[in-house]
Chains A and B, each alone.
Chain A
Amino acid sequence: MKVTARGFVGSLFIAASVTAALHLGCGRDAAVPRDGDGLDVSKLPQQVREDYALFANRCSKCHSLARPLALATREVSDAFWERYVERMRRQPGSGISVDDEVPIRRFLHFYSRVERERQNGVEADAGSSLIAAPPSAPSAAVAPPVIPSASAQPLDGATSPIDGGP
């Protein structure tokens, strides 16, 4: 069997058709990451869902969301996230613009805080279990997250592992 240009174009056409059908059939819920390593959006406080959607979209392009979320279970600081996100932004084809950095860091700040509270056994707020707080009674975890100060660490201080993975 020979590989022909016709056969290759045919494969492309079939792939495009299947893609279009699945894409239309599976909806366009951008808040749900493409892999199951993310969080249950319905349990996130309303205030962080937009940040999470951006984080999930940008940070699942090259690797699983399990990587950054696992890092959040460690004792990490805002300065760490600042360097980390900046490093990732500089990856070839990352698709993470300067404008994306703050919302991504804001979500990671929130999630790190929730994880720390969970590890410390704090059950006082809704964020600890990632259960959305009632809109009328925002908890400490769903208060407007602190945006890490740009002066805390130099933004250009990060360099990179140039692959998508470990």
Chain B
Amino acid sequence: MGSRLGLVLVMTTLLAALAAIVSPRSAWAVDHSLSGSAQLDYHLVPTAPDANARKSTFDGLTTEASVKLTADVADHLSASIKVCFGCHGFEADMAYVHYQPIEEFGVRAGRFSPSFGAFNLRHDPANHGLSSKPLPYDMGRMLRLSSWNMSVLPSPFPDNGVELGGTHWIGTKAQIDYAAYVVSGFKGANDSFDVDWIQSRSPSLYYADNNGRPTVGGRLATTVRLGPTTDLTLGASGQHGTYNPDNTLTYSIVGGDISFRADKTIVRVEYLVRRQELDASNPARFKYSISRERGDFFTKHGAYVELEQGLTSRVALLGRVDGMARFGNLARESDLVDGSTVVRGTVGGLVTIERGFRLKLSTEFWRFSDNDLRNGTDKAVSIHTALVGAF
């Protein structure tokens, strides 16, 4: 309770500072930019009408809001603060300084989401067209989220650390970006079956690391301009670290992404996989023998293909096919099996009501490899309706 009160006080102070800094009377105005967004989403799951089935689904109304301030402190130094409000309450998504003496090299230090994949750059609700995130990056909107323990890499994933990065242009047609970072890494207990996402984001632990060994990672991407309004981005990302206090259990995440844009058409493809070791000291806890293949670790794969097509200046159509597959050992009582899968198809529309104010509509068709133990079905439908504003 005390830490929650403290967090609220800190956030209030930060917002008050933001308000003071962006005041029209401020002489600093030229050096600061303020942006933000708010999304209200209603998630209806008509195929889960009873209370028991709804236990694995966050349906109903949710709000995600954020405000971000970036200040140019000096010629080569800026500072950014981003405060979010969502299902977890207030959260510091960013609080870092960024020193970039040259285009090809910069360093940022503090709290930020390390560079991984393509979607995380667009994780703000104002920057992606569907209400829900792609399954590999889902954070709390997927059905059966408890059974799956969410996605491969729930986005965003702010962490404490330092990142080196830069960009280099080859002529005016190709851009190469790189990033390499050291962060605290995800957290879990010594005997846990997966990353403990709550522990990984909980302010009650003061965002402190649970072990002394940092996680390392990086990203390499290239963007090539194929025409005046056509470009292609290819990227590869990876990170590796330990997640338990004793530093005995490792996790590794790798991924690749392709984004293609031609005029009003955008196609995005992304794949990522997480391999995670399990504590096998007590075989009785597991569903399968630890001596079999993948007995003491699991892999969770995720991928999506997304199409965004502008139909008019105010209406865009979106389609997405995404899914996950999990291979390896599980807790004895888990609803999943070795090789469980989930596939989702989504169709949606994005309507601009006024500049910066949009309506998002989408329907998701789910299919699981396992029947739900509560209602005995492997299919589900969910519907999202959202309003989102950005400034």
For A16-30 the 0/1 string (1 means CB < 8 A from B) is 101100110010111
Please report the C-alpha to C-alpha distance between residue A156 and residue B72 in the assembled complex, in whole angstroms: 12
A159 engages B265 (CB within 8 Å): no
A90 CA / B100 CA spacing, docked (Å): 10
* Contact between chains at B228 and A19 (CB < 8 Å): no
Contact B303 A8 (CB under 8 A): yes
**CB closest residue in chain B, given A40:** B313
- Specify which chain B residues have a CB less than 8 angstroms from the CB of A40 in the assembled complex: 313
In contact, B72 and A83 (Cβ under 8 angstroms): yes
Q: Is the interface of A mostly helix, strand, loop or mixed?
A: loop
Stretch at the interface among A68-76, A115-123, A124-132, A139-147: A68-76
Other CB < 8 Å A-B pairs besides A63-B126, A90-B100, 12 of them? A3-B341, A19-B309, A26-B265, A37-B356, A64-B356, A79-B30, A80-B30, A160-B98, A161-B82, A164-B122, A165-B68, A166-B68
CB interface residues, A 1-43, toward B, < 8 Å: 1-3, 7-8, 11-12, 14-16, 18-19, 22-23, 26, 28-30, 32-38, 40
Asked whether, in the complex, the Cβ of B30 is within 8 Å of the Cβ of A92, the reply is: no
CB distance from B121 to the nearest CB of A (A): 4
Name the interface residues of B308-354: CB closer than 8 Å to any CB of A: 308-317, 319, 321, 323, 325, 339, 341, 343, 350-352
Contacts of A70 in B (CB 8 A): 355-356, 391
Verify if A97 is at the interface (C-beta below 8 Å from B).
yes
Closest to A31 in B: B229
Q: Which of A8, A19, A36, A74 contacts B352 (CB 8 A)?
A: A36
Is B80 close to A, CB under 8 A?
Answer: yes
- 27 A-B pairs within 8 Å (CB atoms) are namely A1-B369, A2-B339, A3-B323, A22-B307, A23-B262, A28-B263, A30-B229, A32-B310, A34-B266, A36-B314, A37-B355, A40-B313, A57-B228, A79-B30, A83-B72, A91-B167, A93-B233, A93-B235, A94-B223, A95-B231, A97-B169, A158-B100, A159-B78, A159-B98, A165-B66, A166-B37, A166-B390
Q: Nearest Cβ in chain A — how far from B11, in angstroms?
A: 15
Q: Contact: A159 with B76, CB < 8 Å?
A: yes
Which A residues are closer than 8 A to B by beta carbons? 1-3, 7-8, 11-12, 14-16, 18-19, 22-23, 26, 28-30, 32-38, 40, 57, 61-67, 69-71, 74-77, 79-80, 83-84, 87, 90-95, 97-99, 154, 156-166
Contacts between chains A and B (CB distance < 8 A), count: 235
Interface of B is mostly: strand
CB distance from B189 to the nearest CB of A (A): 30
**A-contact 0/1 string along B239-280, CB 8 Å cutoff:** 000000000000000000001011111110100000000000
Interface residues of B in 1-52 (CB under 8 A from A): 24, 29-31, 33, 35-37
| Interface residue? B70 (CB, 8 A) | yes
Is the CB–CB distance between A1 and B378 below 8 Å?
yes
- Interface membership of B385, Cβ < 8 A: no
Instruction: Confirm or deny: B286 has a beta carbon within 8 angstroms of a beta carbon on chain A.
Output: no
**A-contact bits for B152-183, CB 8 A (1 contact / 0 none):** 00001000000001010100110101010000
Q: Given A64-B127, A162-B115, are A156 and B75 neighbors across the interface (CB < 8 Å)?
A: yes
- B108, B264, B321, B352: the one within 8 Å of A11 (CB): B321
CB of B77 closer than 8 Å to a CB of A: yes
Collect the chain B residues with CB atoms within 8 Å of residue A91's CB. 121, 167
Instruction: Give the distance to chain B from A65, nearest Cβ to Cβ, in Å.
Output: 8
Provide the residues of chain A in CB contact with B108, threshold 8 Å. Answer: 162
* Residue numbers in A under 8 Å from B315 (CB-CB): 36
